[in-house]
Amino acid sequence: EHTSPMTTTIFLLRHAHTTASPHYAPDFNWPLDRLGQTQAGQLVTVLGDLGIEGIYSSPQTRAMETTAPYAEATGIPAQAVDGLAECAFNRVWAVDFLDLVRRHWSDFDYSMPNCESHRMCQSRFLRTLHEIAGANFGKALICCSGGQAISLALQSIDPSVGYEDWANISAPDIYKLDWDGERLGWDRSYVFGGPESLLSD
161-187: pLDDT as tens digits: 999 999 999 999 999 999 999 999 999
* Cβ atoms within 10 Å, residue 85: 22
Residues 6+ away with beta carbon under 8 Å from 201:
42, 45
**pTM for the structure as a whole:** 0.94
4 confidence band (pLDDT: 50, 70, 90): very low
Query: Looking at residue 5, what is its pLDDT?
Result: 55
Give the mean pLDDT of 131-154.
97
Instruction: Name the residue type at position 185.
Output: G
* Of 122, 164, 166, 120, residue with least CA distance to 147: 166
* Of 127, 140, 124, residue with least CA distance to 88: 124
46-74: pLDDT as tens digits: 999 999 999 999 999 999 999 999 999 99
Side-by-side strand order, sheet with 8-14: 78-80, 54-57, 140-145, 8-14, 173-179, 184-186
